[in-house]
Amino acid sequence: MGEFVRLEVADGVGTIRLERPKMNAISLQVQAELREVCAEATERDDVRAVVVYGGERLFAAGNDVAEMAEMSYADMVKATRGVSAAASAIADIPKPVVAAVTGYALGGGCELTLAADIRIAADNATFGQPEVLLGIIPGAGGTQRLARLIGPSKAKDIIFTGRFVKADEALAIGLVDRVVPAESVYDEAVAWAKQFSGAAALALRAAKECIDRGLETDLATGLAIEQQQFASVFATEDRTIGMTSFLANGPGKAEFVGR
């Protein structure tokens, strides 16, 4: 269990909690703990889906600027892979991942939300990539994942200006998938994640792999990835359970075992 990041598991849902007072600033230590916790969530069979949550007040107000201000170019050359890897660790969890966003999700905090599969935001949520206002650029996937999610022109507007994006605009441009009252954002995220607690885990893993890897390449290669993954799930126990149940009882009644 890390000092600032921990994993809680209940009913098949793993919650990754950021808890670094006062603003969940993402330091090098937080990044390292995130990588460790994401690895644990990946390995644990009792975790079928994941919620990433910063608490009731805010998600994360950004990277630790005080820490970065003391770093030289040489220092950052050594550290930058770990900075990016913290967000990638979330993206690489081979299970459904939802970010539950309250308050500020800025800079590195916004980049962590971009690494999730979907984002459920509180009506008080505020997003942004204000790094240019510090004379730097996003360094944990902001220039890449944001452009892929909302399109290059909208991403450039947000990154070039460093402006804040409120929840209603974030929903309109596709930066978030749902906006709910602040007091219910975590419960909504858990409810979304919990629907996968009895799902065919390896099929979900294969579907996520196809989508994520396919977006990185051309259509023909993406289709080849899909074909390979489609064939591979026929080796799973859940495929047999699902098809047998469908033929006997119709759709939606299979009791999967995650193998």
Q: Which residues form the catalytic set? A: 111, 131
Strands 5-10, 126-128: pairing kind = unpaired
Q: What is the 3-state secondary structure (H, E, C) of the chain?
A: CCCCEEEEEECCEEEEEECCCCCCCECHHHHHHHHHHHHHHHHCCCCCEEEEECCCCCCECCECHHHHHCCCHHHHHHHHHHHHHHHHHHHCCCCCEEEEECCEEECHHHHHHHCCCEEEEECCCEEECHHHHHCCCCCCCHHHHHHHHHCHHHHHHHHHHCCEEEHHHHHHHCCCCEEECHHHHHHHHHHHHHCCCCCCHHHHHHHHHHHHHHCCCCHHHHHHHHHHHHHHHHHCHHHHHHHHHHHHHCCCCCCCCCC
Q: Which of 181, 168, 119 is nearest to 145 (CA)?
A: 119
- How many residues are given for the chain? 259
